[in-house]
Amino acid sequence: MGPLSAPRTVSILGSTGSVGISTLELFEALGRPVRLRALTGGRNVALLAKQALEWRPEVAVIADPRGVDELARRLRGSGVAVEAGEGAVKAAAALPADWVMSAIVGIAGLAPTLAAIEAGAIVALANKESLVCAGPALLRRARLSGGAVIPVDSEHSAIFQALDPRQAAQVSRLILTASGGPFRTWSAERMAAATPEEALAHPNWDMGRKISVDSATMMNKGLEMIEAAYLFGVDADRIDVVVHPESIIHSLVEYADGSSLAQLGPPDMRTPIAVAFAWPDRVAWPAPRLDLGRLGRLTFEAPDPVRFPALDLARQALRAGGPAPGLLNAANEVAVEAFLDRRIGYLDIAAIVSETLDKAGAEHLGDDMADPLADDILEQARRVDSAGRRLAVAAVEARRARGAA
């Protein structure tokens, strides 16, 4: 398809993060075929103001209310309305729009994502946690609202492109590829001493802090397994992961006849964003092109379950169902934050997630905490998230106390 026939109304939730920035870069490369309803950011007032002055959305929202005065000062006279707080982010997400990028990191992205879905928008979903914590209910709401959820993670975008819905019953496996992160070749002893700076140094992708650490632990791939199960209706035993350091093949769909279809491309987030933006068509833009002759070879290896236990933890949570995926996500968020704050070591991240899941089982946190048909999706997800955080914080503090003893 060529240029879009008419500008689309668009909101970007999380415009100051890496995916939000890439989305605006794509729109610039496309010749700005959009009219922006809303831009929202977390704490980066300066960047949000710069984006708002350049793109002139109807409203700019800073999630942290402490930044509202500075944002208002920077946007004075621009004609851009200024709002602040989580409620304002949710309200911005609910504004009528053709297409909404959901790129707010963490469980904080669930409420605005749900608001956009219930408004009937096409939601380009880059927020892993929304699907992990409330996937079945979220997708059910999208069907009822008449909207759509299009995955933006490169792995799920690849499956979305390679999986023919008419042949869904013939899918035998989904194979997610993983770069292996910065610690792919490190020994367990060396990983034990890893610093936040080393964990953030991803070899292929430019990502935010939390997702960069998740890539290092391979928890991102564990969360993606859960997402893939919900998005494509495939059970845990039919989703595999293979380490592919070059990040050229983004995922594969294996069919019953032995055929495997893969989606390939240079590691650039603008490509899956373009797929989601133009769906159900394609849009031409100056994308980086694949030169297989120059690459020479692509390599693959099985992930090491000993050095990367997060994969098995995620698979266990997916099989358990109920509140388990949400508990896993909450514990991981707490543990990653503690690692970035240098309160725990790198190897403690997976250990704290494991301890949280074990403790939740001992406390009999039952399936009633994550009913996929519940009317109040947010309340269900928040209960699970709160329980997971409580247990994970206790595990962090207990580990620190043992270290100080």
* 5 CB-near residues (< 8 Å, 6+ apart): none
- Check which CATH number belongs to the domain holding 84 and give it: 3.40.50.720
Residue 252 and residue 325 in one domain: no
The count of domains in the chain is 3
Is 277 inside a domain boundary? no
Residue 53 and residue 188 in one domain: no
Residue 88 and residue 233 in one domain: no
Residue 248 and residue 367 in one domain: no
Cβ–Cβ under 8 Å, residues 105 and 208: yes
Residue 169 and residue 298 in one domain: yes
Residue 216 and residue 97 in one domain: no
Q: What are phi and psi of 243, to 5 degrees?
A: -80, 130
Residue 211 and residue 138 in one domain: no
Q: What is the pLDDT along the chain (405 residues), one digit of tens a residue?
A: 344 667 899 999 999 999 999 999 999 999 999 999 999 999 999 999 999 999 999 999 999 999 999 999 999 999 999 999 999 999 999 999 999 999 998 888 999 999 999 999 999 999 888 899 898 889 999 999 998 999 999 999 999 999 999 999 999 999 999 988 889 999 999 999 999 999 998 776 667 788 889 999 999 999 999 999 999 999 999 999 999 999 999 999 999 999 999 999 998 999 999 999 999 999 999 999 999 999 999 999 999 999 999 999 999 999 999 899 999 999 999 999 999 999 999 999 999 999 999 999 866 555 455 555 456 888 888 899 999 999 999 999 998 888 755
Tokens 């994550």 -> residue: 370
- Check which CATH number belongs to the domain holding 347 and give it: 1.10.1740.10
Q: Which domain holds residue 344?
A: 321-405
Residue 250 and residue 347 in one domain: no
Residue 305 and residue 349 in one domain: no
Structural domain ending residue among the three candidates 151, 176, 207: 151
Is 186 inside a domain boundary? yes
SS (H, E, C) the chain: CCCCCCCEEEEEECCCCHHHHHHHHHHHHCCCCEEEEEEEECCCHHHHHHHHHHHCCCEEEECCHHHHHHHHHHCCCCCCEEEECHHHHHHHHCCCCCEEEECCCCHHHHHHHHHHHHCCCEEEECCHHHHHHHHHHHHHHHHHHCCEEEECCHHHHHHHHHCCHHHHHHEEEEEEEECCCCCCCCCHHHHHCCCHHHHCCCCCCCCCHHHHHHHHHCHHHHHHHHHHHHHHCCCHHHEEEEECCCCCEEEEEEECCCCEEEEECCCCCHHHHHHHHHCCCCCCCCCCCCCHHHHCCCCCECCCCCCCCHHHHHHHHHHHCCCHHHHHHHHHHHHHHHHHCCCCCCCHHHHHHHHHHHHHHHCCCCHHHCCCCCCCHHHHHHHHHHHHHHHHHHHHHHHHHHHHC
Q: What are phi and psi of 340, to 5 degrees?
A: -65, -30
Note the pTM of the prediction, 2 decimals: 0.89
